[in-house]
Structure formats: structure tokens, C-alpha cells
Amino acid sequence: MDNVLLFRFEIVIAVLILALLVMSLRDFNTKVTAFLGTMNILLLVNFLAGWLPMATGSYFSGFFRTTDLIVFEKNILNLGILLISLTSYQWLKQSEHRLEFYFLMLSSIMGVFVMLSSGHILMLYLGVEMSTIPIAAMSNFNLNEKRSSEAGLKLILSSAFSTGIMLFGISLLYGAVGNLSFDSVIANLHPDMLTIFAFTFILAGFAFKMSIVPFHLWTADVYEGSPIAVTNFLSVISKGSVVFVFLTILYHLFGGLKEEWLYAISILSILSMTIGNLFAMRQQNAKRFLAFSSISQVGFVLVGVAGASVMGSTSVVYFILIYLLSNIAAFGVISAMADTTGSESLQSFKGLYKSNPFYALFMVVALFSLAGVPPVAGFFGKLFLLTSGMNSKLYVLLGFAGANLVLSLYNYLRVVKYMFIDEAIETIPPMKRNRQLTIALVVCTIGLLAIGFIPELYQYISQICTM
């Protein structure tokens, strides 16, 4: 029984999916308000249940494992899907496919949980596929919009390409070590040519999933074409979960190749930060702007990864939590703006403070956090990432990171200027308010203002990363 409880997160998600099927049979989803209220309550219960004490260990000969760090990462993602559900309330209320949205989102998060708990590379691969395929369907959710269909198609093609590359790397790795369980790979890993080739292809597969330059070309188009709720899911849940797994792959599975991957990660980090920031300057569509912002942010994450230490793991997990709150808040305001004005242009944010001061304040906290402006949590997140990077004495990388901090500050302040200084092109009416969106924005904003002043949180993450 104790071993079965190691699957507690997955069991709860499976129960929620079954509950959706029952609701579908009874057409409960046609009672819009009751259905959405029920789903938000179920997701809240799911999030709270994640904090109950839980045993750790492995099952199925190490195929599935649970640690305190994995439990914490799953709790972060549970918080994310709850907040995304709340910020998407208005869109879901109008959509005919609200039940399918929850079904696909929960199916994807099931794959994410399998991926995080994998102790075997084939289990990891299965989790990656389970988490990706539902997102491609979600990207094509606006069936009447051509750009949504294009987004779904591009995500399918890029995912298929990245999966093929990753699978080829896994095949080479099997040829090199003769077994794909994590323990066997760690024990038999040698820096020979075949292993390095295998690592290169697996790294490229993950780089696609995380939108690392030069594997980022799908990102902006898919973000722009997908519904805002799906873009939100892609930017925080999908990307955050892959970053969590990437830490395990680099630090544990390929820890013996540290000398080989350290410089590769540094180069990818520099490219991602710089290209992401430079292209973000040219964007006028809010979703494309946040797409290139996410590429830049993952470049900063790689600075922390380059630390190759417990502090590296700690700073990355800590930063992903902050990034999740920042991006969900930003997409929440963009969603409210799109619902009110029908526009996703950054130009439509001009004069927002005068007409909708609270939404402008929510947005500015999110943007300051993404930029790393003190005392918002993003400042502490980037501070720890850079400090972690210093452990490897990669001073050129740190120099580029410093320059990119200035570039990103310019990008985010440009939007702040639109909201607080520029005059509105057209008068923005009061935004459509709903309680769910307000709750989500308040939670994100309080989190971003408070996290930096809770040192116990960072210490706790450091403690579970050490185990």
C-alpha cells in the first residue's frame, strides 16, 4: 500500500480525469458557471492535497520514484494549473470546448508527473510524449482561426522532430551503456565519442522543448496562434517541468560529462539571452513579446544550471516558482485586455493606468519580476542564478548575463512606459472583471512581493535539493 501511495499525485489527476468523463456523460459542462466553479474547487483540493505528508522511494524496480524535491516540483505545477484555470475563467465561459480543455490539460499534467518521477529513460520518454501531445491539440483550440490551426500544426511538427532527435540519442546511449535505467547509466557512463554523441542528441531534444536558441524557431508562432490560456500553460507548466527534468538529466544522469557539457550550456545560455532580448525589442504583439521573453528567461536559467552544484539546482527551482507567478500574472492581464478590447497588441496597453489602475499595477509587478527589479521576487531569483553561475567561474557568461539584464530591463520598461506615461490611442473601457481572475492576480502579486523576504523558502528548497 505504501508503494502505491508513491503514485498519489498521479492517482488524484486520474480521478479528476474520470470525474470529467462522468460530467461529460451527464452534460454537466453545459451548466457553465457550476462546471467551472466545480473544476476550480477540484483543482484547489488537488493543490492542497499535494502538501499532505508523503512517503518517498521507488517502485517497479526503479522505473518510478518519488523524492521530496519531486513532490515540491509537482506542487509548484499544481499551483500553476489552478492559477491558469482561474485566469482563463472568462475565456472558458465563452468556449464550447471547456470540458475538453480541462481533459487535455489534466492529461498533459499526468504526462508531466510521469516525466518528473521517471527513474528509467524509457519512462522519461513516455512522460515527455504524454505531456506534449495534448498541448498540440490545445494549441488548435480556436477551430475557426487559421493561426490557431497553424500553431497546432507547428507544435506537432516541431515536437515530432525533437522527439526523433531525442529518441536517436537514447538509442545511441543504450548502445554505449547497455541499459537505460538511471542507476545503470550513471554507473557505466564514460566520456567516449559514442556517449558524447548520445548526449548531444538528447540535449538537442530537450533544447527544443525549452525553446533554447537555436532550437526556438517554433516558439513565437505557436505562442501567438494559441489561445491565451494555452500559451500560458505552454510558457509556465510545459517549460517549467522540462527545466526540472533537465536538471536531473544534466546533474545526475550526465554528471560524469560535466566538463563536456559546461561550455555547451554556457554558449546556449548566451545565445538564448541575447537573441531572446533582441527579438523581444521588435515585438508589438503581447504574446510574441512574452514568447521571446521566455526564451531570454531560459537563457538566465542556464546560467544557474552552469553552476553545476546544489546551489544551481536550488536557484533554478526557486526561479521557476517565481517565473510561474510572474508569467501567469502577465498573461492574466493580457487575457483581460483581449476580452475587453479584442486586441493583443502592446500598443493597446497605452494609458492603461488611467483607465484600469489595478490591472496596470498587477502587470507592472509581473514585469518588474521578469526584469529582476528589486524588491520584487524576480530580483532574488536572478541574483541566485548569477551567484550559482559564479561557482563555475565562467566570467564571460556572467558578463553576457549582465549585459542582457540591461536589455531585458529596457524591454519590460517599454511596456511599463506604455501603461503609465503614454496616452491611450483609444479610451480603454473598464476591463471585464471576474472574481476568479482577481483572485489569481492577487495571489500572484502577493507571492511576487513576499517570496524574496521569506528566506526559509530558499533554505527549504536547498535542503531538499541536497537529499
Residue 181's DSSP bridge partners are 120
Signed CA dihedral, 234, 102, 154, 165: sign only? positive
- Whole-angstrom Cα distance, residue 395 to residue 370? 23
Residue 118's DSSP bridge partners are 64
Kindly compute the dihedral angle of the four CA atoms of residues 384, 289, 330, 35, in this order, to the nearest 10 degrees: -120
Query: How many CB atoms within 10 Å of residue 53?
Result: 5
Query: How many CB atoms within 10 Å of residue 278?
Result: 14
What is the pLDDT, as a whole number, of residue 2?
64
Question: What cell does 272 get?
Answer: 538564448
Question: What cell does 218 get?
Answer: 517554433
- Whole-angstrom Cα distance, residue 50 to residue 54? 8
- Whole-angstrom Cα distance, residue 448 to residue 460? 18
Residue 59's DSSP bridge partners are 64
Contacts with 54 (C-beta within 8 Å, 6 or more apart), sequence order: 5, 8, 66, 71
Q: pTM of the entire structure?
A: 0.95
Question: What cell does 236 get?
Answer: 509556465
- Whole-angstrom Cα distance, residue 314 to residue 275? 26
Question: What cell does 360 get?
Answer: 496596470
What is the pLDDT, as a whole number, of residue 308?
81
What backbone phi and psi angles, to 5 degrees, belong to 82? -65, -45
Residue listed under C-alpha cell 466545480: 38
Q: 309 in helix, strand or coil?
A: coil
Residue type, 44: L
Residue listed under C-alpha cell 454537466: 28
Contacts with 210 (C-beta within 8 Å, 6 or more apart), sequence order: 239, 242, 243, 246, 298
The interaxial angle of helices 395-420 and 286-305, nearest 10 deg, is 150
Q: For the chain, list residues with pLDDT below 70.
A: 1-2
- Whole-angstrom Cα distance, residue 376 to residue 138? 32
| Dihedral class, residue 219 (left if φ above 0, else alpha if ψ from -120 to 50, else beta) | alpha
Greatest Cα pair distance in the chain: 66
CB-based burial label for 432 (10 Å; 0-12, 13-18, 19+):
exposed
What backbone phi and psi angles, to 5 degrees, belong to 409? -60, -40
- Whole-angstrom Cα distance, residue 379 to residue 448? 10
Nearest alpha carbon to residue 131 among 103, 102, 105: 105
- Whole-angstrom Cα distance, residue 334 to residue 203? 33
Q: How far is CA 241 from CA 73, 117, 361, 386, in A?
A: 8, 11, 29, 21
Decide if 263 contacts 271 (C-beta within 8 A): no
What is the pLDDT, as a whole number, of residue 466?
83
DSSP designation for 429: P
For residue 214, the surrounding DSSP H or E stretch is: none
Contacts with 454 (C-beta within 8 Å, 6 or more apart), sequence order: none
Decide if 380 contacts 454 (C-beta within 8 A): no
Domain boundaries, the chain: 7-466
Nearest alpha carbon to residue 324 among 111, 10, 78, 43: 78
- Whole-angstrom Cα distance, residue 12 to residue 54? 14
Decide if 432 contacts 90 (C-beta within 8 A): yes
CA atoms within 13 A on the CB side of 444: 37
